[in-house]
A and B are shown apart, each in its own frame.
Chain A
Amino acid sequence: EDKVVQSPLSLVVHEGDTVTLNCSYEVTNFRSLLWYKQEKKAPTFLFMLTSSGIEKKSGRLSSILDKKELSSILNITATQTGDSAIYLCAVPRRTGANNLFFGTGTRLTVIP
C-alpha cells in the first residue's frame, strides 16, 4: 500500500532560522515526488522531483530527492513569518501520474 510519512508533524522556529522538513515514501512504480505549501486553504505547488541528488531551488527554498533512501528533504533558509504554513509531500499513485497520495504534512510556524 502507498505510504507517505512526513516529519516532524509540527515545528516552531524563530525568524532567520533554517529548517529541514522530511518526507519518506513507499509507492509502487515511483514516478516523482511533489512538495506543496498550504498557507490558508489552497495548496500551492513548490517542487517536483524525479531524479536523485539533483537539487531544486526557488529563492530560500530548496529540495532534493534520495531514491535510495526513498526520501526527500525540503530546506528553508533564513525563515520569515510568511513561511508559516503546512508543507505537504505527495507522490503519484500507481493508477496515474496525476493521482496524488499525500502525507499528513508538516505545520511550520515562524515566530518573529
Chain B
Amino acid sequence: ETGVTQTPRHLVMGMTNKKSLKCEQHLGHNAMYWYKQSAKKPLELMFVYNFKEQTENNSVPSRFSPECPNSSHLFLHLHTLQPEDSALYLCASSPLGGSSYNEQFFGPGTRLTVL
C-alpha cells in the first residue's frame, strides 16, 4: 500500500446526486493531482495543485469541482454527472520544485459508476 489513500474505493451514484472523492497523502509532498482513467482511453490529467493552489485545469467540465484545503488533502466534488463520467479516478502526489520531473505516487483509485 502506498502513502496515498483514496476513499471511497467504489462509488455508484445517480446523475442527480452530489458526492465527493477524498485523497490523502502521508508523504510530505506539496503537489497533488487528479487523474481520470476511462476504459480504452489514456490516463488523463484533470487538475494539479501546488502548495494548495490550482495550477492546471485540463478543460474539465464544471460538474467536477476540486478542493485542496492543505497539502495533504485533496477532494473532488461531483454533481450532476453523466454516465460517460464513469471511470477510475486516481489521485497522485509528488514533491514540488525544479524544472525536472518529480516522481508521482498514485493512490489506489476510486471506481466511479454513474447510472
Contacts and interface: CB of A to CB of B under 8 A. Distances in A.
A48 B101 contact: yes
A95 B40 CA distance: 25
Contact of B101 (A31, A42, A95, A101): A31
Contact of B42 (A42, A50, A93, A104): A104
A34 B40 CA distance: 20
A103 B104 contact: no
Interface stretch (B14-22, B43-51, B69-77): B43-51
The winner among B55, B94, B100 for most chain A CB atoms within 10 A is: B100
The size class of the interface chain B forms with chain A is 20 to 34
A90 B98 CA distance: 19
Contacts of B55: 96
Interface in A16-52: 31-32, 34, 40-45, 48, 50
B43 A98 contact: no
Contacts of B42: 4, 101-105
Interface in A83-103: 88, 90, 92-93, 95-103
B41 A42 contact: no
Nearest to B107: A42
Interface in B77-112: 88, 90, 94, 96, 98-109
A62 B98 CA distance: 26
A48 to B, nearest CB: 6
The size class of the interface chain A forms with chain B is 20 to 34
A42 B106 CA distance: 5
A101 B90 contact: no
Interface string A46-73: 0010100000000000000000000000
Contacts of A32: 100-101
A95 B33 CA distance: 14
A100 B45 contact: yes
Contacts of A93: 45
Contacts of B106: 41-44
Contacts of A105: 42-43
